[in-house]
Amino acid sequence: MVNIKGRDFLSIGDLNGNELSGVLDAACAFKRSLQEGDTVRSLSGRVVALIFQKPSTRTRVSFEAAIYHLGGGSITMNASELQLGRGETIGDTGRVLSRYVQAIALRTFGHNEVEELAEAADVPVVNALTDLEHPCQVLADLMTVREHKGVLAGLHLAYVGDGNNVANSLALGCALAGMRFSAGCPEGYEPDAEIIARARGLAGGDRIRIVHDAREAVSGAQVVYTDVWTSMGQKDDHRRKRDLEPFRLDGDLLAAADPEAIAMHCLPAHRGEEISGEVMDGPRSVIWDQAENRMHAQAALLDLLAGG
Ligand code: CP
Ligand code: NVA
C-alpha cells in the first residue's frame, strides 16, 4: 500500500506513477468493500471541511458520501458565507480550520489559493477544482478507464475541446500512468503550456501531443474525452462556441477513434454543444461510471491522506 499520509493533493502530479497506481488500487478496493457493505471506518472521529467558491453537484455529494461511508463527519461551506468573503485571508482560514478538522478540500478559481491554503494549514488540503487543475476528477477517470480496458499503460486518450483544468490534469495523469495523450483544440485553446511541458518531461515528448484537428487527435484513440466549452468563471461568448464547434464529440468523431473506444465527460455536460446526446447515452459512454467513481476515488484518497 502507498504511503501518502499527511500530504496535500493539489495536482495529480503530486503523486508519482507508483502512488497513482496505489490510489487507484485503493479506490477499486473501496468500491468492492462498499458493495459488500464492509467499508473501513478510517475517518471515525474525524471531520473534513469542504469549501466551495464555485457550484458543484458531483464533487460535493461524492465527497460527503465518501466521508459518511468512512465513518467521518463533513462540513460543507459556500465560501461566500465564510469570513473569507469579508476579507479574512485564505492562510488565516486554513490555520483556524486546522484546529477543528483533519482535512480540507477547496474548490476555487486561482490555483494559488489552494497552494496558500496548503501552505498555512496543518492538515492535508485537497484540490476540489481550480482554474488550472481538477485532480480528483482525473483519479476517477483513470479508475474508470482501468475498469473498462483492464490496463492504463500504453493506451491512447484523446481530449477534444477547450484545453481547460480537466485537460491539464488528464495530460499529467496520462503521463504518470504511461498513457499517450492527445489534445485536439482550436488555436488559442491549448492546455497550460507549463503543465504540457511537465507531462512531456514525465512521458517523453512524442507521447503528449497537441493538434488543432479533432479527427487527427482521436485517430486510433481507445479513450475519447471532452468537457464543457466554457468553464466556471469564463465568459460564455459566441466566439468560443464558433471556435470550438468543430471539436464536438459526436458519433462521427467517435467513429474516427478505435472501434472499441470509450467516450468520457466529467459532467456537467451541455448536451448538443461539446457532446451529442447520442454519444452520452450511447453504448460506448462510460460517463455515469466516471461520476460514480468520484466517490470511490475520493474515499480512497481521504483514507490514505487523513485516515486513522
Ligand atoms: N465533475 C465535477 O466536478 O462536477 P461538479 O462540478 O458537479 O462537482
Ligand atoms: N472545466 C469545468 C469542469 C467542471 C467540473 C469547469 O471548470 O467548469
263 and 178 in a common domain: yes
Atom of ligand 2 nearest to the CA of 266: 5
283 and 149 in a common domain: yes
Give the count of domains, the chain. 2
Cell 499517450 sits at which residue?
Answer: 180
150 and 126 in a common domain: no
CA distances from 201 to 153, 167, 184 (A): 16, 17, 20
Contact between 306 and 48 (Cβ < 8 Å): yes
- Residue 18 pLDDT grade (very low, low, confident, very high; cuts 50, 70, 90): very high
3-state secondary structure of 242: helix
Boundaries of domain holding 179:
137-290
Percent pLDDT > 70 in the chain is: 100
pLDDT digits (tens, 9 = 90+) for 53-109: 999 999 999 999 999 999 999 999 999 999 998 999 999 999 999 999 999 999 999
User: Is residue 1's pLDDT more than 90?
Assistant: no
Ligand nearest to the CA of 165: 2
- Residue 205 pLDDT grade (very low, low, confident, very high; cuts 50, 70, 90): confident
Atom of ligand 1 nearest to the CA of 266: 1
Q: What single string gives the DSSP state of each residue in 195-231?
A: HHHHHHHHH-GGGEEEES-HHHHHTT-SEEEE--SS-
| C-beta 141 within 6 A of ligand 2 | no
- 2 assigned to some structural domain: no
Q: What is the CA radius of gyration of the chain?
A: 19
Q: Average the pLDDT over each of 32-36, 119-123, 203-207 and give the range with the smallest value.
A: 203-207
pLDDT digits (tens, 9 = 90+) for 175-197: 999 999 999 999 999 999 999 99
Burial class (CB in 10 A: 0-12, 13-18, 19+), 150: exposed
User: Is residue 34's pLDDT more than 90?
Assistant: yes
145 and 94 in a common domain: no
| C-beta 231 within 6 A of ligand 2 | yes
286 and 153 in a common domain: yes
45 and 100 in a common domain: yes
235 and 107 in a common domain: no
pLDDT digits (tens, 9 = 90+) for 221-238: 999 999 999 999 999 889
Hey, which residues are catalytic here? 107, 134, 137, 227, 266, 294
Contact between 159 and 184 (Cβ < 8 Å): yes
| C-beta 49 within 6 A of ligand 2 | no
- Residue 14 pLDDT grade (very low, low, confident, very high; cuts 50, 70, 90): very high
Burial class (CB in 10 A: 0-12, 13-18, 19+), 207: middle
Atom of ligand 1 nearest to the CA of 267: 1
Cell 482521436 sits at which residue?
Answer: 218
Identify the CATH number of the domain in which residue 109 sits: 3.40.50.1370
